[in-house]
Amino acid sequence: MAKYVIIGNSTAAIGCVEGIRSKDKDGEIVLIASENHHTYARPLISYLLQGKTDEERMKYRPDSFYEENHVTAKLGETVTKLDSEKKTVTLKSGEEISYEKLLVATGSTPFVPPMEGLDTVPEKFTFMSLDDAHALESVLTKDSRVLIIGAGLIGLKCAEGIKERVKSITVVDLADRVLPSILDETGSAIVKDFLEKQGIEFHLGDTAAKFAGTTATLKSGLTVDFDVLVIAVGVRPNTSLVKDAGGEVRRGIAADDTGKTTLPDVYAAGDCAESFDISAGVNRVLALLPNAYMQGNTAGINMAGGKASFDRAIPMNAIGFMGLHIITAGTYDGETYVRRDGENYKILFYKDDVLKGYILIGDVARAGIYTALIRNRTPLSSIDFKLICEKPQLMAFTARTRRDLLSKQQ
Amino acid sequence: MKRVYVDEKWCLGCHLCEYYCAFANSGKSSMIKALKDRTIHPRIRIEGDNQVSFAVSCRHCTDPLCVKSCIAGALSKKDGVVCIDQNKCVGCHTCVLVCPYGALMPSESGVMQKCELCIENAGGKPACVQGCPNKAIIFEERD
């Protein structure tokens, strides 16, 4: 029997290993993952295609990680069943492994909606894993015309990653604006204009109604000829192991702020799980790398008998396209402070004396000061609101708070 | 462990810490070569107005959000110092998103930079501390 079993090998799983090892140096850890790769930084696959990193540098932890942390890594093996009464997981190979504490960090899977004629498309890809990136890369040439379905984070990051390597990129999305999950209408328009100037073509508020080989017919009647299709309409949390074992699953696996699911001694973290978004006051899947780490790390500490709580989760994103940086956090609810100067855009949302959310495009310097206001629910009446609207700065705090921040150990 | 602490009571707002920092991290042998006619990219920055000023640099937090949040695994904590592997950093700005002090910023090359307490240079004592004319920046152990 392994003391700890972890299903997954990405951010939440690594956070869990480090959480366990902060409390328990020796307890056996078995980590099982379908992907046969050393742990890698998943969001870096677009940077890999862009040439900004390589497989060696995008390793999320050093080569020595598993050995140093006494982790038995079973890579390239898939868990097919969880039995929470017997406290075992079963691998595809038939092997059964029992656990004392289990973390489910199974991530998510790209969602490919049924689309007429999709099976006639010779080159079609999703964009989520290292293998996806390699597969896409293998067919790209400087003459490739690429059609991307989806103007969200994954679709646009993919566009940026391959832009300089292909002839053209066309992006289609059912939504009438880009990045609707993290931007407001003004922000979307700024980013879309910017990307159009970089040569990306958009058909928004439209959708691929039908494929015939390398021609897509959109709902509007427009046809787009392409060589390579990338489908990036969204992801679905991988929840079936927990669901089939009788655990509660909503949009994602239900987990409390210690990481516990409704199954005994089973924890969940990362893109497969929900967390409580304090800025909106609801449970939701926050499929973001920092949250995956923190949730996994919290689960690991608790699995090893420590006490930790992941109780300050909020949506937050830092993303950039071809030099234009975007940082967003929280929930877009309440009164607003808006400032716009060309591509530089700022909107702050505040309500009930706290900052609820913000969007920064262009000038994103020191955005974390805003993020901290949201996470800490700092009363806005306790700081200089005018100064904080102007820019993120510690000057907006009282001298006493500044002394605590800068003259004490943090 | 020893960290950099600042006291705004003594800060003159002279920005010398920024220059010493930029020099120490430039790899150049003379301050003139490193700084003259160049836009400097210090890892410590003065904030303030005519009345109050203070220097801000990495606090080397006990529980660093930047390390937990780095999407590239480029930030880590070594012997209490939060370090960045610029070779791994892709400049995504997630550390800027989470740092409550605003203490990470892009370097000249676009990847991020941060104070590493001059462990790779200057030897023993951070350059900003050595260069502060009024002892507003101190390097010592505190609770």
Contacts of B98 in chain A (CB under 8 A): 290, 316, 368, 371
One fold for both B1-57+120-143 and B60-114?
yes
Q: Is the dihedral of CA A236, A237, A238, A244 positive or negative?
A: negative
Q: Which residue of A has its CA nearest to B97?
A: A368
pLDDT score at A313: 94
Residues of B in contact with A407 (CB under 8 A): 5-7, 142
Q: What is the mean pLDDT of chain A?
A: 97
For domain B1-57+120-143, the CATH architecture is 2-Layer Sandwich (3.30)
Chain B interface, Cβ < 8 Å to A: 3, 5-8, 47-49, 52, 54, 56, 59-62, 65, 68-69, 71-73, 87-88, 90-102, 105, 142-143
**CB–CB of A3/A28 below 8 Å?**
yes
The residue assigned the tokens 């500044």 is: A402
Q: Determine the Cα–Cα distance for residues B19 and B35; give it in Å rounded to an integer.
A: 8
- Asked if residue A49 belongs to a domain, the reply is no
Give the single-character DSSP code of A17: H
Distance from C-alpha of A396 to C-alpha of A392, rounded to nearest angstrom: 8
| CA dihedral for A152, A155, A159, A161, sign (positive or negative) | positive
**Residues of chain B with C-beta less than 8 angstroms from the C-beta of A290:** 65, 68-69, 94, 97-98
* Nearest CB to B47; choose among A47, A297, A395: A395
- For residue A291, what is the domain's CATH number? 3.50.50.60
Angle among Cα A285, B104, B40 to the nearest 5 degrees reads 150
Element (H, E) at A336: strand A335-341
Interhelix angle A289-303/A11-21, rounded to 10 degrees, is 30
**A119 and A145 share a domain?**
yes
Closest residue of chain A to B60, computed from CA coordinates: A410
**Tell me, what amino acid is at A305?**
G
Same-domain pairing of A242 and A289: yes
- Beta-bridge partners for B82: B77
Closest CA–CA distance from residue A224 to any residue of chain B (Å):
32
Q: Residue B122: pLDDT band by 50, 70, 90 thresholds?
A: low
Q: Which residues pair with A2 in a beta bridge?
A: A99
Question: A69 and A118, same structural domain?
Answer: no
The one-letter code for the residue type at A152 is: G
Are the Cβ atoms of B91 and A294 closer than 8 angstroms?
Answer: no
Helix and strand element counts for chain B (H, E): 5, 8
Domain final residue, candidates A303, A333, A350: A303
Mean pLDDT over the full length of chain B: 93
pLDDT in tens, A286-309: 999 999 999 999 999 999 999 999
Residue A168 lies in a domain: yes
Strand partners, A236: A109
Cβ-contact A99, A89 below 8 angstroms: yes
Residues 6+ apart with CB under 8 A from A149: A155, A172, A173, A207, A208, A229, A230, A231, A232, A233
Give yes or no: residues A102 and A241 share one domain.
yes
In A38-84 the beta strands, taken as DSSP E runs, fall at 71-75, 79-83
| Closest residue on chain A to B58 (Cα) | A406
- What's the CA angle centered on B106, arms A11 and B25, to 5 degrees? 110
Which helix (H) or strand (E) is A184 found in, with range? none
Domain shared by A206 and A277, yes or no: no
Chain B: closest CA distance from residue A196 (Å): 21
What is the tens place of the pLDDT at every residue in B67-117?
999 999 999 999 999 999 999 999 999 999 999 999 999 999 999 999 999
* Distances, alpha carbon A404 to alpha carbons A398, A401, B101, in Å: 10, 5, 12
* pLDDT score of B1 more than 90: no
**CATH 3.20.20.70 fits domain B60-114:** no
Could you read off the pLDDT of B42-80 as tens digits, one per residue? 999 999 988 999 999 999 999 999 999 999 999 999 999
Task: Please list the residues that pair with A254 across neighbouring strands.
Answer: none
How far out from the chain centre does Cα B126 lie? Answer: 9
Tokens (6 digits) for B70: 């780095």
Looking at chain A, the number of H-run helices and the number of E-run strands are 11, 24
DSSP A175: S
Neighbour count for residue B89 (Cβ, 10 Å): 26
DSSP string, A245-274: TT--BSSSB---TTSB-SSTTEEE-STTB-
Q: Does A386 touch chain B (CB under 8 A)?
A: no
With cut-offs at 50, 70 and 90, classify the pLDDT of residue B123: low
Helix (H) or strand (E) holding B118: none
Residue numbers of chain A with a pLDDT score lower than 70: none
Contacts of A69 (CB under 8 A, 6+ apart): A17, A18, A21, A29
Instruction: Give the residue from A101, A96, A60 showing the smallest Cα distance to A77.
Output: A96
- The CB density around residue A122, as the number of other CB atoms within 10 Å, is 10
CA B125 to chain centre: 13
Task: Note whether A250 and A266 are same-domain residues.
Answer: yes
Burial of A368 (0-12, 13-18, 19+ CB in 10 A): buried
CA angle A232, A48, A18 (to 5 degrees): 90
Q: At B139, give phi and psi (nearest 5°).
A: -115, 105
Which residue range(s) make up the domain with A353?
323-407
Residues A345, A270 share a domain: no
Q: Is A403 on the interface with B (CB under 8 A)?
A: yes
Q: Where are the domains of chain B?
A: 1-57+120-143, 60-114
Chain A neighbors of B71, CB-CB under 8 A: 41, 43-44, 289
Interface test with chain B among A406, A407, A408, by most B beta carbons within 10 Å: A406
Same domain, A120 and A104: no
Give, in degrees to the nearest 5, the angle at Cα B64 between B59 and B68.
150
Taking an 8 Å cut-off on Cβ atoms, the answer to whether A410 and B94 are in contact is: no
Backbone angles phi, psi at A291, to 5 degrees: -65, -40
CATH of residue A346? 3.30.390.30
* Tens-place pLDDT, residues A61-77: 999 999 999 999 999 99
**pLDDT tens per residue, range B16-46:** 999 999 999 988 888 888 889 989 999 999 9
Write out residues 52-91 of A within 8 Å (CB-CB) of B.
52-53, 57-61
Q: Is A258 exposed, middle or buried (0-12, 13-18, 19+ CB in 10 A)?
A: middle
Report the pLDDT value the prediction gives residue A325, as an integer from 0 to 100: 98
At B33 the pLDDT is 87
Q: Is residue A311 part of a domain?
A: no
Q: Alpha helix locations (H) across B36-132? A: 65-69, 94-98, 127-131
Q: Looking at beta carbons, which residues of chain A come within 8 Å of B96?
A: 318, 327, 364-368
Q: Which residues of B touch A44 (CB under 8 A)?
A: 71-72, 90
pTM: 0.96
Looking at the structure, do residues A13 and A104 belong to the same domain, yes or no?
A: yes
Give the number of domains in chain A. Answer: 3
Name residue A392's amino acid: P
Distance CA A196, CA A3 (A): 53
Strand partners, B125: none
Q: Which residues of B touch A59 (CB under 8 A)?
A: 73
Q: What residues contact B49, with CB distance under 8 A and at least 6 apart?
A: A395
Query: Does residue A52 fall inside a structural domain?
Result: no
Classify B3 as helix, strand or coil.
strand
| pLDDT of the residue at B142 | 86
Measured between CA atoms, the residue of chain A closest to residue B85 is A57
